[in-house]
Structure 1
Amino acid sequence: MLSRAARISNIDACGAVPIRDGSHAIFELPNGIVARIGKPDSYRTARRELYISQWLNQNGIATVQAVHSIPQPTVVNERPVTWWTLIPDHRSSTPEELGRMLRRLHALTPPTDFPLPSYAPFDGLREHIESATTIDEDDRSWLLTQFVRLRQQYDELDHPLPPCVIHGDAWQGNLVVPRTGDPIVLDLDKVSVGWREWDLVQLAVDYTDFQRITDSQYQSFVDAYGGYDVTQWPGYRVLADIQELRWVGFALGRSDTRKAAAIEATHRIACLRGVMPKPWTWQAL
């Protein structure tokens, strides 16, 4: 598929190197180009990512840039392929750098030239649970009960602040820092309008449930964001539980074709069900 899309767009794809195969398949190509292959029938999402990249860069938030000389997206077998400029020699952001970027992002007025969707935290989650073939019925029943409980609790949450522009998948790997220049935002497909806490909860969960970062690192994130500690918000545990259930759903969505994902999904479910004590260790997929 990548070869065909490259031929259509007159791009050299010889020696393409896979970078990641998550919700999108991403490849590094010659001449400093990165190909990002979307899900089937996601043309509108891919097109919106291109608009978002341009809009954020125009508003002072450095973001991965599309290759403007190529008409985009390229569609093959109903899957959109977008072409981006490679960011060489970079590292993941620190918690402080992530907090600083999110503070600026959340202060933006939503664009008027194109609409941003409302953030949908439960989108696709029930389907992943119901269709999973690698878990037993006891685990499936527990996950569905958890889904219903969290959906109800989420609907009952009070929130004092209006929705704002959020990234939707704000972890340190989605803000990268090159040797020179500003940190650069990646993975724009979930940029939307929603509660700012969704952008704060991922690092907070890393701190409270996984202990991937230290007390001082988490405090630097809070300070850089402006002093708001989402773990002290009464609704934090509900959002944290939803986020962790989503990570289980992601593993389940890949478990039919990947043994490692099936094993990881089983481990994550055991953690959520209290079989494994915190802090947890989950493997990236």
Structure 2
Amino acid sequence: MLASAGEQADGARLLALGENAVLALEPPGEEPVVVRIGRDASLRERAERELRVAAWLEEQQVPAVRAARPGVTVVDGHPLTFWRRLAEPVREAVPADLAGLLRRVHALPAPPFTLPPRDLLSGVERWLRLAGDAVPPADAAYLRARRDEFAAAAAELTPVLPPGPVHGDALPRNVHVGPYGPLLLDLETFADDLREHDLVVLALSRERYGLDEAAYADFVRAYGWDVREWPGCAVLRGARETAACAWAAQHVPGNPAAGREFARRVDSLRRADATVRWYAC
């Protein structure tokens, strides 16, 4: 596929594999680039929006990954976008790095193009269908019911922060700390919604995924507010937990470890036990 896009696939190095395949390339006679390859044609619109977001953040002088080429290239139905290769990181990103970048994003006005709302629960049905018979029907029905419950509750929330642009997947793994400081990665989930969405991600990481309390405290100090003080935090947390369970479900077929993790997550939700640690699938 890369060769038919006019690239030399030899020497391509896989950096990540998720909704996109992300590869590092060194085209002959050109600057090294990173190419993001979408799973299917349905992701083209999102890829185009990501490029618009990157250009807008550059105009707003927000440190973020920059596109190497304009526009989306489609090869065999897969949308491809090309990005400037970043310098090697000088250290691992920490929550306080993320907080500083979020403060800058949350100070921005709306961009001159439309951003979608941050619909945390839109993927639940697709992930459960991918899981199929590999997950118990009762668990799938339970997650669908939770999805509907939390979608309705989220629509009624009154925010503390003024709504506007959000990153949408605000985790330290989406920050790169290079020689010139931290910058944002993975702009595909940018949305126009409650700013609290970006802050609940780290609160959930603290409570479910083992983020150190001191690191979370650093995040709160750097941002200036702890979203756990907001009554709506529990609603957005519940929505994210529901989505995280359904996301794990898609990995269950053929993966016994994912099956055990899915069962752990669903059981902890059924028992309303917020102390159960969740692990990556």
Relative to the length of structure 2, the TM-score reads 0.88
Give the 5 Å matches for 1:129-278: 129-130=128-129, 132-133=131-132, 134-178=134-178, 180-214=179-213, 216-226=214-224, 228-256=225-253, 260-274=257-271, 278=275
In structure 2, the CA distance between the partners of 1:72 and 1:109, relative to structure 1 (3 Å rule), is same
Structure 1 residue 159: deviation in Å? 2.5
Match of 2:17 in 1: 21
Which stretch shifts more, 91-100 or 46-55? 91-100
CA deviation map 1:120-146 (0-9, x unaligned): 222121332355221012212221222
- Describe the superposition over 1:80-113 as per-residue Cα deviations: whole angstroms up to 9, x where unpaired: 011112223224421111111101100001211x
Superposition deviation, residue 219 in structure 1: 1.7
Structure 2 match to 1:12: 8
Question: What secondary structure, in the 3-state scheme, does the structure 2 residue paired with 1:243 have?
Answer: helix
CA offsets 1:34-65 (integer angstroms, 9 cap, x no match): 11011322222111111111111221211111
Residue in structure 2 matched with residue 103 of structure 1 by the alignment:
103
Question: Which amino acid letter does the alignment assign opposite residue 33 of structure 2?
Answer: I
Deviation at 1:276, TM superposition (A): 7.4
When normalised by structure 1's length, the TM-score is: 0.87
Q: Which runs of 5+ in 1 are unaligned?
A: none
In the other structure, the counterpart of 2:86 is 87
Q: Which letter maps to 1:181? A: Y
Identity of aligned residues (%): 32
CA distance 1:193–1:92, shift in 2 (3 Å) = farther
What is the distance in 1 between the residues matched to 2:218 and 2:268? 28
In structure 2, relative to structure 1, the CA distance for the partners of 1:131 and 1:22 (3 Å cut) is closer
Deviations 1:142-168 (A, max 9, x none): 212222222232233223443111000
Would the aligned equivalents of 2:95 and 2:172 in 1 still touch at CA under 8 Å?
Answer: yes
1:196-231 Cα shifts (integer Å, max 9, x gaps): 1110011111112333222x22121111112x1101
Structure 1 CA distance, aligned partners of 2:111 and 2:251? 34
Equivalent position SS for 1:65: coil
Root mean square deviation of aligned Cα: 2.2
Give yes or no for contact 2:128–2:249 (8 Å, CA) kept in 1. yes
Provide the C-alpha distance between the structure 1 equivalents of 2:156 and 2:55, rounded to a whole number of angstroms.
36
State the alpha-carbon separation in 1 of the partners of residues 45 and 209 from structure 2: 35
